[in-house]
Amino acid sequence: MLSREQELELIDALRGVHPDEFGLDEELWTRQSLTTLIQRRFDLPLDAGAVGAYLRAWGLGPREPRERACGLCVSAVERWVRSEYPAITRAAQEHLAEVYWIGRVRLRGTMPAADVISAVSSRGRVRFMITTPTVDPPLRRDFVLRLSGEEQRTVHLIVDGSWPRNEWPRRLPRRIVLHPLPSCGRAVAA
């Protein structure tokens, strides 16, 4: 296990940095790339399950769609999942694309504070980046582009209410399709 000091050092090392800057073959941080970095940096062999526990403690991982909505939007999100989501998954299957649910959380107990932008695939794969929070930061273009990867695969991205549509990146390649999760405009970042 990492000590609290090592965990905070790790979070600081990840701020605004992508795995390829550490010589790792990933576009965004994953459980596997984080496992490799921990082994290199701290000479600490952790298994994927232990690293997954850190990710869950940081608020990353699969969540039900209703958990991504503020209390006022839950019924709208549930209706959306029944009516709109099936068409998104069909379109993704036709394009051989991945579906990701995008959101953000604030890591508490770090100085300065840290925001984590994450994307969880419909298969449960978590990809993320850590940033230093700013007031109402837009959805990061580099994060969205990296989800498509060097192979430039098609991705369908379901964006939670953390970002209003006017904070989404503009002029994205056609292979990146953004879908808004219903929201009343209240931020849901934890």
190 by Cβ neighbours in 10 Å (0-12 / 13-18 / 19+) ranks as middle
| Cross-strand partners of 98 | 155
| Average pLDDT for 72-100 | 93
- Name the pLDDT band for 135 (thresholds 50, 70, 90): low
Q: What is residue 190's predicted lDDT score, i.e. its pLDDT?
A: 43
Q: Is the pLDDT of residue 185 over 90?
A: no
| Average pLDDT for 119-142 | 86
Q: Is the pLDDT of residue 87 over 60?
A: yes
Specify the pTM. 0.89
- Over the chain, what HEC string results? CCCHHHHHHHHHHHECCCHHHHCCCCCCECHHHHHHHHHHHHCCCCCHHHHHHHHHHCCCCCCCHHHHCCCCCHHHHHHHHHHCHHHHHHHHHHCCCEEEEEEEEEECCCCCCEEEEEEEECCCCEEEEEECCCCCCCCCHHHHHHHHCCCCCCEEEEECCCCCHHHCCCCCCCCEEEEECCCCCCCCCC
| Average pLDDT for 35-51 | 94
| Average pLDDT for 38-61 | 91
| Domain spans in the chain, listed from the N-terminal domain onward | 4-57, 65-180
Of 17-21, 54-58, 77-81, 110-114, which range is least confident? 110-114
For the ranges 83-87, 102-106, 186-190, the maximum mean pLDDT occurs at 83-87
CB 1 within 8 A of CB 50: yes
Residue with the larger pLDDT of the pair 96 and 138: 96
Query: What does the alpha-carbon distance between residue 190 and residue 187 come to, in Å, rounded to a whole number?
Result: 9
